[in-house]
Chains A and B, each alone.
Chain A
Amino acid sequence: MSRTRHAALCAAAIASTALLAGGALAQTADDLLNDHKTPSDVLVYGMGYSGQRFSPLTQINKENVKRLVPVWGYSLADNQGAEGFPVVKDGIVYTTTHSATVAVDALTGKTIWRVAHEYPPETLRVVCCGIVNRGVAIYNGKVIRQLLDNQIIALDAKTGKEIWKVHSPEPVTIENGYAMTGTPLIANGVMVVGVAGAEFSHRGFLEGYDPDTGKHLWRTYTLPLKGEPGSETWEGDSSLTGGGSSWVTGSYDPELDLVYWGIGNPSPWNPRARAGDNLYTNAVWAVRPKTGERVWYYQTTPGDPFDYDAVQTPVVATIPVNGQPRKVVMQANRSGFLYVLDAKDGKLLAANTFGKVNWASGVDMKTGRPMVTDVYKGALEGKNVTVWPSVSGVTNWQHMAFSPQTGLLYINTLHVGMTYEAPEPPKLVPGRPSGSGTVKRTVVTDDPNIRGYLKAVDPMTGKSRWETPYRSPNYSSTMVTASGLVFTGVMTGEFQALDADSGKVLWSFQTPSGIVAQPITWERDGKQYVTVMSGLGGVYAQRAGDPNLANVPLGASLWTFALFDK
C-alpha cells in the first residue's frame, strides 16, 4: 500500500472513530458527579469531585506492575513545564500546555486535533512560577481551559473548533498583575475559576461562569475593601494590592453543594507592609458554586511572612473522627501543618505537622490559630531567622492522594529550610513585583542529597506510616489505586509505582524529561492504562537552584502505559 493511501485510510479511520464517538461526547452534570465511579473516563480534575485521586481499578497490581510498559508516547512540542491533568472521555485524552490544547487517541497516541493558543509576549512578565497550564474541564461536549492572559476558551471536544472565548472582566489585565494557569472546576452547572498574581500586587478572587456560554456570573474577591468585614486585618489600604490568589483548582461536595478552594499568600511577601492577619488570604474556603457566597473559611497562616499559600486542593473524604465517621476536608498545607476540617462548617478537627516546622509549635484547637514561635515573631520584626519550611513549603501545588482503603494520604513533601529576613518594605502599586524581591533568603538543608520525601500520612495525627526519600522533592502529584499502588513522578524523569503499604519502589520508567505532572489511570475494553505527562519546568525547577536538576533535558510529552500482554 502506498504511503499516501495508507495515510488517507488512517485519517478516514480516525475521522470515522471521532464521528461515531460524537454521540457519546456530551458530558452531563451527572457524568461529572459519577466520575469517581466510572473508571473508563477521567472527567474531573482530581479524578472525581472529592480530589482523592483514588482509582478502584486493580488490574495493575503489586505483583504484575513490573510488566508495565509504554503503549505510546506523544510529543507536546514544548519546552515549558508540563503540569497538566489529562482528561479521558470515550477513548480520547485531552491535555494542555501553556500554548496548546490537544485531543489524542487514547489507545494509539495519534493526534485527533491540536489547537494552538497565542498570548501577548508581555504576558510572561507576570508569570511568577513557570509558563504552565494544569489542564481542561470537560462539559456538554466542550473542552474548556484558561489561558495565561486571563482568557477562558471553550473548544468543541470533537473538532477543537472554538465555541466561545471570554476575557475575565476588569480589572483583570496582565498590566494589573493577573495571570491564569489553573483548571476550571464545573460544579452544579457553574464553572469556577481561580487566578494567579499575588507576586504582582493584585487583588485575588474566585469567579463563576456559565460553562455553556462563557457568561460571567459572579466574582468573590479574596480580600476586603476598606470598611468591609476583614478589612480591619489589613494595614491602611494594603488590601488593594494584597494578593490572595486562587491559582490551584479546588474540589466539590455535591451533597453539601460546597466548592472547597485554597486561597494563596498575601502580597507583598514582606509582612512589614501589611500588619495584621490579612484576611482572607492563606485560607481554605467553602463556596456556593451558584453564587460565589463564602459559607465558611479557615485561615491557616495569619499575617504570613513566608509565602505559605494555602492552595493545596482540599481533599473531601469520610474518615473516622473520635470513632465516628465524619465528612471532612483535608489540606496538607505549605506551612507544614496537615489540617482536617469539618466539611459542613469548617470546624477544625485536627492540625498536626507532617514535615519539619519551626515557625509554630502547634495549633490552638480552640481558636484555630497557630501558636507562633520566636522565629515567626522575629521575621515580623525584620530579624534574620532560620525557618522551616522554606518559601517552597512542605508541600507546594502538587496534589496528594487519599486511599479510602488504607485511610492514608500519599503526599510528596519538601525538606528544605531557609534563612529569612524582611527589610524595609517597598511601596506597592498594582502589577508591580511584590514577591521574592521584597525579602532575603538563603537555602538551608539538613542533607543536600535529600530534599524531599514521599510520605504515607495519617490525616488525624500527621504521622508517617512510611517515608521514601528523594534527592530533589517530587513536584508530581500522586495517584493511588485499589490494588495498593501509589504512582508518582520524579523531577529527574522517572515515573514510578510504589507499594502503598511500605513505600517500596516497585517499578520505574525513565521518561525523556522531568515529571511535574499529574498521573491518572483509566480502562478501555477491559484493559487498565496509566497516563502522565513528562516535561520539566515550573517554580521549583526554575527557581530553586537545585543542583540535582541542572542537566535534566526539557521537552514536554504525554505517556500512556499498560501491562505487557505476552
Chain B
Amino acid sequence: MASRTSHLILAVCSRMPVPRQDVLRLFVVLLLGVIVSAGPDRPARAACDFAPVKQQIDVVLDRDHERGAKFRREVASGSDSIAAMEALVSAEMREKIDICRYDVAEYLTKRGFPPFH
C-alpha cells in the first residue's frame, strides 16, 4: 500500500497521466494522514479493547488443548502467566495483550494464573 501510494505521488508530481480514481484515492489517503498526524493529544497507544483478548485467552485455556497444556506447563515451571500467554499467540494479539496488560493480569488471576511480582 505504501509503495503504491509513493508511486502515485511520484506520478502526480511528474505530471504523468494518472487515472482519476487513483488521484481521488491519493487525496483521501493524504487527507487522512494529515488528520491523524495533526491530532494534538493522539495517544501513542490505543486504549484496551479487552473482549477479543479475553476470547483469545479463553481459547488457549479452554479449547486449544495443545496450547493450553503448553501454557500450563510454562506457568508451572515458573514463567510469568502474561509472558507465557504472549508466547502462544500471534504478533497482533500479542500487541493487544500488551495494551490490555492490566486487565489481562486481573483475568488470568481470576482464572487461577496470577502473573507474579
Contact = CB atoms under 8 A, between A and B. Distances in A.
Nearest to A120: B43
Given A122-B46, A122-B47, A441-B78, A433 B117 contact: no
Contacts of B82: 433, 437
B41 to A, nearest CB: 9
A436 B115 contact: yes
A392 interface: yes
A125 B78 contact: no
Given A433-B98, A436-B83, A544 B116 contact: yes
B116 A545 contact: yes
A122 B43 contact: yes
A307 B116 CA distance: 12
A392 B117 contact: yes
B78 A543 contact: no
B68 interface: no
A365 to B, nearest CB: 32
A542 B105 contact: yes
A122 B45 contact: yes
Contacts of A435: 117
Interface string A114-138: 0000001110111111010000000
Given A124-B102, A441-B78, A391 B117 contact: yes
Interface string A417-436: 00111000000000001011
Given A121-B48, A122-B45, A543 B102 contact: no
Interface residues of A, number: 34
Interface in A389-421: 391-392, 419-421
A437 B80 contact: yes
Nearest to A436: B80
B76 to A, nearest CB: 8
Among B44, B48, B79, B117, find the residue whose CB has the most chain A CB atoms closer than 10 A: B117
Contacts of A552: none
A441 B105 CA distance: 17
A433 B94 CA distance: 12
A420 B77 CA distance: 10
Contacts of A125: 45, 48, 98-102
A189 B80 CA distance: 44
B109 interface: yes
A127 B83 CA distance: 16
B24 to A, nearest CB: 35
Contact of B48 (A122, A175, A420): A122
A530 B96 CA distance: 45
Nearest to A543: B117
A328 to B, nearest CB: 31
Interface string A33-46: 00000000000000
A543 B80 CA distance: 10
Contact of A391 (B47, B98, B116): B116
A421 B74 CA distance: 13
Interface residues of B, number: 27
Contacts of B48: 121-122, 124-125
A226 interface: no
Interface in B93-112: 98-103, 105-106, 109
Contacts of A524: none
Interface string A186-212: 000000000000010000000000000
A237 to B, nearest CB: 22
A104 B106 CA distance: 31
Nearest to B76: A442
A440 interface: yes
B79 to A, nearest CB: 5
B99 A440 contact: no
Interface in B38-71: 43-48
Nearest to B47: A121
A506 interface: no
A122 B45 CA distance: 7
Interface in A514-543: 539, 542-543
Given A122-B48, A128-B117, A435-B117, A542 B109 contact: yes
B77 A433 contact: no
B102 A129 contact: no
A489 B45 CA distance: 38
A124 B101 contact: yes
Contacts of A175: 43-45
A440 B98 contact: no
A126 B99 CA distance: 9
Among A421, A437, A545, find the residue whose CB has the most chain B CB atoms closer than 10 A: A437
A173 B43 CA distance: 10
A132 B116 CA distance: 18
A516 to B, nearest CB: 14
Given A120-B43, A442-B76, 8 more contacts: A122-B43, A122-B47, A125-B48, A125-B101, A175-B43, A175-B44, A437-B80, A542-B109
9 contacts: A120-B43, A121-B47, A173-B44, A174-B45, A436-B115, A436-B117, A437-B82, A543-B105, A544-B117
